[in-house]
């Protein structure tokens, strides 16, 4: 049981790290001359980055920003709740609160990545042709990890 709990804790920390990287790093969309994320667009000029805010993209990018921030917050709160429940729950009870928060985090990541995917042409009309960057891919991987983690928490029962 101790090994299982250790695996779950490491899995949750790895998921939180993926969410942080996907939210913060400047690699949601990459071209040869620019890279962009949900916060700024970096136009490369002689190996220097000229920042351009993404507010020009409208309300859709604000929804992506809010959903990604909420997913990080829910993931961190879920971790804290899991650790508290680990010491507070009676034998045989399930980790419903931690699992529910993790599933909320999963939904937020899915919403953010889905909106970004749907509005990609509008966001990058001046940067096309390009490709999705690794932060975008990490966001989808984090979605899968938070979903799996949330289900694990709900199924997991506290045993001695």
For residue 83, what are the domain limits? 2-155
**CA 129/CA 84 separation, integer angstroms:** 48
Closest CA to 97 of 107, 106, 84, 111: 84
Assess if residue 130 is contained within a domain: yes
Residue 115, CA distances (Å) to 47, 60, 83, 123 in order? 31, 7, 32, 11
Predicted structure pTM score: 0.86
CA distance from start to end of the chain: 8
Q: 12-34, pLDDT tens digit by residue?
A: 999 999 999 999 887 888 887 77
Q: What is the pLDDT of residues 30-80, one digit of tens each?
A: 887 777 778 877 777 666 666 666 666 678 888 888 999 999 999 999 999
Whether 160 maps to a domain, the answer reads: no
Residue 60: strand, helix, or coil: helix
Look at the chain and report how many structural domains it folds into: 1
Does residue 43 belong to any structural domain of this protein?
yes
Q: How far apart are CA 25 and CA 70, in angstroms?
A: 16
Question: CATH number for the domain including 116?
Answer: 1.20.140.150
């Amino acid at each position: 049981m101790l090994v299982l709990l250790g695996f779950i804790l490491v899995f949750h920390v790895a998921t939180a790290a993926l969410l942080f990287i996907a939210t913060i790093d400047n690699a949601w969309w990459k071209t040869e001359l620019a890279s962009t994320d949900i916060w700024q667009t970096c136009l490369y000029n002689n190996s220097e980055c000229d920042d351009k805010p993404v507010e020009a993209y409208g309300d859709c990018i604000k929804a992506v920003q809010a959903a990604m921030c909420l997913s990080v917050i829910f993931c961190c709160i879920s971790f804290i709740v899991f650790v508290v429940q680990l010491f507070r729950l009676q034998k045989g009870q399930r980790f419903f609160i931690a699992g529910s928060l993790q599933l909320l985090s999963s939904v937020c990541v899915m919403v953010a990545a889905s909106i970004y995917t749907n509005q990609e042409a509008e966001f990058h009309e001046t940067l096309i042709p390009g490709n999705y960057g690794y932060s975008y891919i990490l966001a989808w991987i984090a979605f899968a990890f938070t979903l799996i983690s949330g289900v694990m928490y709900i199924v997991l029962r506290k045993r001695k």
